Structure 1
């Protein structure tokens, strides 16, 4: 939880705070991250090669975020799409098994939900931008085709982007 709270990899937090027990009231060292983005985002470009999401207001680049993209088995699509819905604290529908053994489970909202704390659906069904319960895996793992960000980054995008914004996947 501290890693997510302070936007840091837990291992790095431990390096900065050797011999700390992380008890209530204890002083710890954290990175000084930038302030909140206060720019409108009307277009994002997910560059799959460099695993980065570029956020624009018109033609002005206003932010970049590390991302996780699709794998070779489940690649992210190429093309230009629109954001069609935005959901904060989404439920997640998990399908387990096959055929007669197939079961559907609804996983509750929260930071440990497989899509994190935000889902922004694209005009291409079943694809979207979303958070992650594992910030340390961003840009190191592969997704099932969606664009995955840390929960804190996806919350920033969510706050500054509207339905209808353009999403380019290349």
Structure 2
């Protein structure tokens, strides 16, 4: 009996010894992943080096000069640098607004940027077929290429937006943000629903109308009527009765006053109308 217990004890000792010899050791050197994490933390801890104020004025003047010369792409890069280098500048909101206006100027011009391509018109092409192919709008193609009619010819080269367009509506700010890829391309003031009636969630644009008719409690209110609160454009969402539209009451923009729709200045919704195609994602947040 004692002999059996002795054998068991010896076996257990041998097992524990093997585990100790071959088992995992405490790491003495960090892995590549850990090194990357440490490097990332160190980078975050390093303070952002801001430019002197005199450099701000110099760069801002340079950007303005470039705009006056029509060098919009170069001016845009300076604006982006100014916003990054001077996040606490008192003129930050002005810089952002001017950058957003510059974005639209570039978008509505033949200037090719990182969001566009140049397409050569093929036999049988129409503006509508090209717009469908690239998931953009006829209005944007015309504006981007200074076209005054829908007539195009084979061999003609057209600037076409190829990036993804989306919309975010922030109810707390009463702001509508147009995004192209991951960039906030422009922000627009808007009105949202009173008593928090604008629904939140992810939607998409399913129809677009110029000078929409308003069906008010069974009555038809024509586009030219001052009582037609839909204004000059309608972008319908995939939630019946809800959409993004213009207004005949511009004094209400920036307030929570609607029946649930998103209301914009007519000039702003007309601009947006030309940019966003049917199928565009719309995210509404509190």
Query: What is the TM-score with the length of structure 2 in the denominator?
Result: 0.42
TM-align CA RMSD: 1.9
Give the corresponding residue for 1:89.
211
Residues 86-136 of structure 1: CA deviation (Å, up to 9, x unaligned): 0011111011xxxxxxxx211111373210001110011111000010112
Q: Report the equivalent of 2:249.
A: 134
Candidates 208, 213, 236, aligned match of 1:121: 236
> Following superposition of structure 1 onto structure 2, how do residues 10-159 of structure 1 map, counting pairs within 5 Å?
34=101, 37=104, 38=107, 42-72=165-195, 75-95=197-217, 104-110=218-224, 112=226, 113-159=228-274
Q: Gapped runs of 5+ residues in structure 2?
A: 1-100, 109-160
Partner of 1:162: 277
- Inter-partner Cα distance in structure 2 for 1:84 and 1:93: 18
Q: Normalised by the size of structure 1, how large is the TM-score?
A: 0.70
| Larger strand percent | 1
Structure 1 unmatched runs, 5+ = 1-33, 96-103
Structure with greater helix share of residues: 2
More RCO (CA 8 Å, sep 6+):
1
Distance 1:165 1:111, change over 3 A: farther
Q: Kindly tell me: are residues 66 and 160 of structure 1, through their superposed partners in 2, closer, same or farther at Cα, counting changes over 3 Å? A: same
Q: Distance in 1 between matches of 2:103 and 2:234?
A: 20
Is the Cα–Cα contact under 8 Å of residues 83 and 165 in structure 1 kept in the other structure? yes
Q: Give the SS at the match of 2:191.
A: coil
Could you say which structure has the larger radius of gyration? 2
Displaced runs of 4 or more, over 6 A: none
What do the CA deviations read for 1:34-75 (whole angstroms, capped 9, x no partner)? Answer: 579227671110000011000001111111000100111x61
Whole-angstrom CA distance in 2 between matches of 1:109 and 1:35: 32
> What is the number of residues matched between the two proteins?
128
CA distance in 2, matches of 1:70, 1:130: 13
Q: Distance in 2 between matches of 1:90 and 1:81?
A: 21
Between the aligned partners of 1:152 and 1:111, the Cα distance in structure 2 is: 18
